[in-house]
Amino acid sequence: MSERRGGASATAVAITGVGLHTAFGDTAATMTALCEGRSGVRSYELEGAPGFGLFAAAPAPTPRPAEFLTDKKLVKYMSPATAMAVTAAGRALDDAGLRADAVHRAPMGLYVAAGLIAFDVAAVRDTLLAAKSDDGTLNLPRLGREGFKLCHPLMPFKLLTNMPLGLTSIGLELRGTNFITYPDAGQAGVCLETAARNIANGRLAGALAGGTAEWLSLMPLTTLARRDRLAKTPDAARTFVRGHAGWAPANGASFVALETAAQAKARGAPIQATLERVHAGYCPDAGDRDARRHARRHAWQMALGAAAPDLVLSSGNLDDDDDAAEQSDARRAFGERCCVTSLDGLLGFADAAAPLAAVGVAARLLCDRATLPEHAKAATKSPRTILVSVAHPDGGTLAALLRRGAEST
């Protein structure tokens, strides 16, 4: 990606395809629901773990990766996170007209952010029961002798952290650069920025950038609960609504197809939006709210230059205080009429998949000249530019400026 001082991109990258797998299903169903103001968040109880209790969540329907595979046998090696990744990536390729175009598809790069390792409670119940001592404590020798024999032989293989990237690359026949990061929203920003820079700098003509997360599983949920990040009710999960406290964890995957404008034009592919600039960063003092706030404002500066977006699409805020800080900063920087909204309370927060979901939704809003209900109340026109803003509590930041494809330079 051609550079200016400070690291901001000076060259736009075309977004030609969007692939989503969310609580509402595919991309079209998701966009319809969001534009109608519907939420996919509901009260949820984790199957097989009744003691965990009810919490707000956004479960996604079962993905169908086989629809996009020539070799259907690959499905048996997929965890839900991998199956969602293949499904969303396949949808992005279809949307861009690339799945049937082997000449342009094969050399594409693949950049994936994967969430925490997750597994079905039922898949390990017998193993854990067999590993208990008579007093109920964990007996490691018994786990090795007896417990592992009761675990499905493919389970450890499915849970390897590089499987979402490996099986997406193999299954969709992508032979370009492969790059995978873990395990949160900040790392999704790294994937997007790296893919965009490699395209704009001429290293690749096209790439898929995306994320996948299976948060509705015992290990990720326990991690969230211990860090007090779970929203107790769907209303509490609504960002920029009074009383917001915590996330509604979600299962989901999101991918965008990125190309040079020249390749898109040569293929006759419509440009849905352009990724004008993108900046991913990290706040080393993530435990300090003011430090995270400063890191987010810095990311905005790097991605925006002197521009002011029509809409800020935020992700990662944990509570009312985060919401208020972002609204205040956006209005000070972009004017009192600036609308800041979020998908986190509607799609749930799927961590590694959430930033790319926001980018994909922003691209479709720009392409379709559509608005979200919150933005429609504040503006008379559909947005021409959208800033995707992520400030993860663990320190990752992302700012990405998207412009309507027909109006990019």
Among 81, 100, 103, CA closest to 90:
100
Helices (H), 305-399: 320-334, 344-347, 354-368, 373-378
Q: Which amino acid is at 220?
A: P
Q: What was the pLDDT predicted at 163? A: 93
Query: How high is the pLDDT of residue 6?
Result: 34
Q: Which domains does the chain have, with CATH numbers?
A: 13-120+156-407 (3.40.47.10)
Look at strands 311-315 and 385-391 and give their pairing: parallel
> Which pLDDT score, from 0 to 100, does residue 402 have?
96
Which three-class secondary structure state does DSSP give residue 306?
A: coil
pTM: 0.92
The pLDDT of residue 407:
58
* CA–CA distance, 290 with 322 (Å, rounded to integer): 10
- pLDDT given for residue 306 in this prediction: 66
Determine the pLDDT at residue 293: 92
pLDDT at 280: 95
Q: Per DSSP, what are the bridge partners of residue 112?
A: 180, 210
Report the distance separating Cα 296 and Cα 70, nearest Å.
42
What are the pLDDT tens digits along the chain (409 aa)? 333 323 334 467 999 999 999 999 999 999 999 999 999 999 999 887 777 889 999 999 999 999 999 999 999 999 999 999 999 999 999 999 999 999 999 999 999 999 988 876 677 778 878 888 888 888 889 888 888 888 877 777 788 889 999 999 999 999 999 999 998 899 999 999 999 999 999 999 999 999 999 999 988 999 999 999 999 999 999 999 999 999 999 999 999 999 999 999 999 999 999 999 999 999 989 889 999 999 999 999 999 876 789 999 999 999 999 999 999 999 999 988 889 999 999 999 999 999 999 999 999 999 999 999 989 888 878 999 999 999 999 999 999 999 998 654 4
Residue partners of 227: CB distance under 8 A and separation at least 6: none
Strand residues in 245-365 grouped as ranges (E) = 251-259, 273-282, 311-315, 339-342
pLDDT of residue 13: 95
